[in-house]
Amino acid sequence: MPTRRQLLSVAGLLVGAAVTGCSVPAVPGVSGPVPRERVRGADLSFTLQTEAIGARYRDGGAPAPLERLLAARGANLVRLRAWVNPPAGYSTLESALTLGRRAHDAGCDILLDLHYSDFWADQYSQSVPAVWAHQDLGRLAGTVRDYTRDAVAAFARQGTPLSMIQTGNEITTGMLWPVGKVYERGHEQWDGFVRLLTAGLAGALDGATAPLETMVHIDRGGDNGGARYFYDAITARGVEFDLIGLSYYPFWHGSLDTLAANLGDLAVRYGKDVLVVETSYPWTLRQADGTEYYAARLEELPDAARFPATPEGQAAYFEGLRTVVDGVPDGHGRGFVAWEPGWLPGVGWDHGEGNPYANLTMFDWTGTALPSLAAFRA
């Protein structure tokens, strides 16, 4: 039997979640799952940069901070990226802390996305940070654990504790190359990668002062075979984590039907919540600044007949996505995180470059809200 104190803790958590939109952690000693609100989140990592060039956002009224506009629509989580030593002006732990304070003040939970790299890390590139280069596996694992612990603790110290953390970004092919690279010259080398991954997961829990969910994030939103191969490999090697995180971009990963099949299979196979932690959809195919878009042609959209590249089509896509998440068996569909809905033209993916995602925002290029913001409703 749970104690009265435990029952009061559960009641307090549920009330707090209802008021703030925050997720509810599990409580030891209380039988049955504690209900968790579905995630309706957004990655806002470029916000300081877009504001610095004069971007302003509005949703039927006066301009307001981006995170507050989304929270007013029902968003309950902000995802923030951190690189170790990026080019000047790009996402650092310090900028993530600044945006974390703003997200917390707006009533949102915080998901920290540690890339363990000095710049973009994904399935094609996982470069070890320059200051960590030449470390062997043992020393690098210790560095990853300490770095992760310190990052989590920094958010706690400023009164904005994380609710989720992903230890690596799209790590389908490993992390911290070459030490943690899985595929090399036709061979698979999982042990080094798994040691680094578990070091990050352990460091996250070392630094936490409040319940913290850990996520392992890959890019295979529409690829069930690839997703199963990866998660089978790490679970067989004893990696323990809470959430499965997937990137899903229809123009790369297939139709919503393929996403639905993948989420359903993974949730049942591993008994874990699944979160679409990156997703977006075009509201136009018109170019803003001459940069070639990743989603540039109608034939690249597998569900174009259902979801044309218009503001209304984008809104319909997010409604379809919500339906897919709601349909994951046993309530394991945790939610979605829209990727950089405010990344307006004028801020490049690198210095001197353009923004190939400029037609995937949820605000038009004047900063005015598009109909797709309805997807954040509770």
Active site (annotated) includes residue 278 = yes
3-state secondary structure of 109: strand
State the CB neighbour count (10 A cutoff) for residue 341: 27
Phi, psi angles (nearest 5°) of residue 375:
-65, -20
The rounded distance, in Å, linking the Cα atoms of 14 and 303 is 38
Strand ranges in the chain using DSSP code E only, listed in sequence order: 39-43, 77-82, 109-114, 164-167, 183-184, 187-188, 213-218, 243-247, 273-279, 333-339
Active site residue 170: yes
303: phi then psi, degrees, rounded to nearest 5: -110, 35
What are the angstrom distances between the C-alpha of 9 and each of 109, 164, 242, 265, 344?
19, 20, 21, 33, 42
Strand-pair category, 164-167 with 213-218: parallel
Q: CB of 221 within 8 A of CB of 259?
A: yes
Full 3-state SS string of 183-232:
EECCEECHHHHHHHHHHHHHHHHHHCCCCCEEEEEECCCCCHHHHHHHHH
Catalytic entry in 170, 184, 292, 319: 170
Angle at 243 between CA 324 and CA 92, to 5 degrees: 105
DSSP string, 224-274: HHHHHHHHHHHHHTT---SEEEEE--HHHH--HHHHHHHHHHHHHHH--EE
Give the type of residue at 365. Answer: W
10 Å CB burial of residue 288 (0-12, 13-18, 19+) is: middle
Question: What span, in angstroms and rounded, lies between the C-alpha atoms of 189 and 186?
Answer: 10
Active-site pick, 37, 67, 213, 278 = 278
Among all residues, which ones are annotated catalytic? 170, 278
